[in-house]
Structure 1
Amino acid sequence: MELSGLGLGAPPWAPASPFARAVREADALEGDLVVVIRLECPGKWLEPGGTHRAERLFVVQVEVWGGTLLVTMLETYSDAWLTVDTRGREQPEVHALNAPRLAAALDGISALLGGPPEPGEENRYAAPSTTGFRDVRAEGPAYDDAWGTFETLDRTRLLDSRLPESEDDYEQTAAGPVRYLTVRRDDRTLGFVWAATDDSAAGYVPRTAAGDEAFDAGAAWLTALREARRSGLTPLAALRDAGLRPAPPEAGVIAREGPLEAPSLEALEELSGRY
C-alpha cells in the first residue's frame, strides 16, 4: 500500500526508495533476532493557498522480533492533521484538507496489516486516535503554544550540537524588527540569516520542514557569524557580509532578493516553522 495520497512517492517501508532513508539494526535479545527498519519520509501537506513539502513528514518504524512478531509505528512531524495547530490556533480549512488523507492512509495500513491502529499516548502537541488525531477544540490543547514553548529550544539544541562551544556568538534574541537573508538550495528554502535592525543581535533560524539540511546550513552560517564578530563587525555589517561572501557547499546560497524585514524575531521563527 502506497501513501501516494499524502504526497509520498513510494511505499514508506521500501528500503530502496530514493525518497526515504533506512536505518537497520539487528541485535540478539533473549535468543530472538530483532530487526528494526526506520524510514524518514518526505511528503506534502495542503493549505488553502497551495501545497508545501516537508523533508520529514513521517517516520515509519518496522520491528520484526524472531521472524514472527511484527510491529509498525507511524510518526508524523506536521500539525496539518490537527484542528488546532501547535501555536494553539484553530485551523479548520487546513484540517479539512489534510485529516481525511491521513485517515485514508491509516485505513490502508490497517487493511494491509490485518488490524486497526493503536493510538499512541497524548503528548504536548496532540492527542492521537484510530483515525488520526482527536478534535481538542472543546477541551483545549495541552499547551496554548506548544511550538513556541518547546520547538525553539529543540532547534537551538540541534544547532548547538553541530558547533563547538564559543564565546564569539552575537546576542541571539531581539526585541524589535529584524532584517534577514533567505538561504536556499535549488528551489528549497533552508533557513534565514538575520540581524536586529537596532544592531544588537544576529543569528540563524532553520526552516523546520527542510530537515537536517537546514541545520547543517545553519552550522555553516553561525560559524561565519562568529568569524564576523571576531573581526569586529557589528550584527548588521555581518549580515551584509553574509550576502557577499562565498559560502561552502553545505551552507546553501543566499537568495538574490533581500535583505527582507520581519516585524520581530518571533515572526521570522513563525515563518520558518510553518512553511
Structure 2
Amino acid sequence: MITIEPVGDWNWEAEVSGDAARPSHAVTLAGAIWDILAARELALPPGRLRFSVRSFSDMRDVHVSLEDRPVESGRLPSDVAVADAAGRADRLKGDFLVSLRIMCPGVWWESGVRYRAEQLFAFQVDIWKSSLAVVTLETYSDAWLTMDTREREQLAVHAVNEPRLRAVLDDITSLMGVPPEPGDSNRHATPTGRGFADPRVEGFAYSDSWGTYDVPARARRLRQLLPPSEGEYEEITDHPVCYFTVRRGDQVLGYVWASVGEDAAGFEPRTAAGNAAFDAGAEWVLRLREAYEEGLSAIDALGWLARVPVRPEMGCIVEDTPQQAESLDALEDLSGRY
C-alpha cells in the first residue's frame, strides 16, 4: 500500500565544520543521497525540491527560499536556481537552520510487475548553526514489510524490495559516517537500523492501519480541494460499487464510482499518482455534484460521466462499460495498492 503519512523514517546526525558546515553543503549532500536512491530506482525524475534558510532565533524569518523545484538528477549544484539559492545562503552571516527537502518518485516490484509511486520516498537535509548535519529519510510504501499495512502476508514482495531499502540505509550510513537512528514505531510499522521489524513477530500497533487512517486522510485531503456543498451523493456505501478507471496519458489517476444499491458516489484517488490524483478527483466530484443537482441517481450519474466531455487535466474514462467491485473497501484497496 502507498500511504499518506510515512510508514517509517530514519535519521543520521553528524557534526560538521569548515566547508561541510556551509549551507551549500546541504545541496551537495542531497545530491549524493538522491544518487544513492536512484541507483535502486527509489528516486526517479522528476523529484520536487524545497530549500530554505531561516534565522535560528526566529523560524518565521526566512532569508532564502526555493519552492517546488524539479529534480532530474543528483547533479543539484549544477542547477542554476539551486546553485543561486545556495550561493546566497553561503553569503549570510549568523546562526541559521538550512533545510533542503526532496520528494522522490520511485518504483517497487510486485508479482514481477514494476509500479511507480510519485512519492515513494522523501528525504530532508538540515544544517543547524553551521555545526550539525541531520539527514532524515522517509518511506511511503509498505513494500519493505513481510505483511502489508492491511495485515496480509507478502513474503514475495518483501523479498524483492527489502534488500533495496537495506542497501540504501547502508549507503547513507557510509556517506554520513554515523549509524541511523530509527524513527519511533508508528501506526503503520516499526523501523529498525536495517529496515523494519517483522510484523509477523512484533505485530502491528493498529489493526488495518491503512484502512483505519489512510482512507479517511485521503477523503479529507480531497474534500479540502472542494467548495462547500448543500447537496450531493453519499460518500460511503455498504453495497457493491460500479466504477470507471480515470487515466491521463499512461497514468491511472483513480476511480469514479457509484453504489449499486443506494444513492452514493464518489472518486477514489490512486495514492501512487500523487497530487495529480487529488486534483483530478476534485474535478470529478464537482461533475458528480452537477449530476446530483440534475436529479440523476448515482448509477445514472456514472453513465452520464462517461458521455460528457471533460478537460484534459481531469483525465478520461478508459472503459466502455463500468467495472464492478464487491465493495467500496475493495475499490479503496485497489486505489491504494497499485
CA–CA distance in 2 between the matches of 1:180 and 1:157?
21
Percent identical residues: 51
Aligned counterpart for 1:7 among listed residues 30, 38, 41: 41
Contact 1:196–1:236, Cα closer than 8 Å, also in 2: yes
Q: TM-score, normalised by structure 2?
A: 0.76
Normalising by structure 1, report the TM-score: 0.93
SS of the residue 2:168 aligns to: helix
Pair 1:214 & 2:277 matched: yes
2:262 and 2:148 map into 1 onto residues whose CA distance is 33
Give yes or no for the alignment of 1:91 onto 2:118: no
Contact 1:190 1:214 in 2 (8 A): yes
Q: 2:295 matched to 1:261? A: no
Figure out how many residues of one structure are paired with residues of the other and give that number. Answer: 268
Q: 2:129 aligns with which of 66, 71, 89?
A: 66
Report Cα offsets for 1:70-128 as digits up to 9, x if no partner.
11100000000011110011211111111111000111111111111110000010100
Check the 8 A contact 1:220/1:248 in 2, yes or no. no
User: Which residue pairs with 2:95 in the alignment?
Assistant: 32
Counterpart CA distance in 1 for 2:198 and 2:248 is: 37
Q: Is the 8 A contact 1:88 1:143 kept in 2?
A: no
What amino acid is the match of 2:49?
A: A
Unaligned runs of 5+ residues in structure 2 are 1-31, 58-93
Which aligned pairs between 1:13-162 and structure 2 lie closer than 5 A? 18-30=45-57, 31-162=94-225
* Large movers: runs of 4+ above 4 Å: none
Q: Which amino acid aligns with 2:170?
A: D
| Deviating more after overlay: 172-181 vs 71-80 | 172-181
Residues in 2 aligned to 1:93 and 1:123: alpha-carbon distance in whole angstroms: 24
Query: In the alignment, is the contact (CA less than 8 A) between 2:56 and 2:129 conserved in 1?
Result: no
Instruction: State the structure with more CA Rg.
Output: 2
Higher helix proportion = 2
Cα distance in structure 2, aligned partners of 1:242 and 1:6: 40
| Inter-CA distance 249–237: structure 2 relative to 1 (3 Å threshold) | same
SS of the counterpart of 2:181?
coil
> In 1, are the aligned partners of 2:237 and 2:262 still within 8 Å (CA)?
no
SS at match of 1:137: helix
Give the Cα separation in 2 of the matches to 1:258 and 1:41.
35
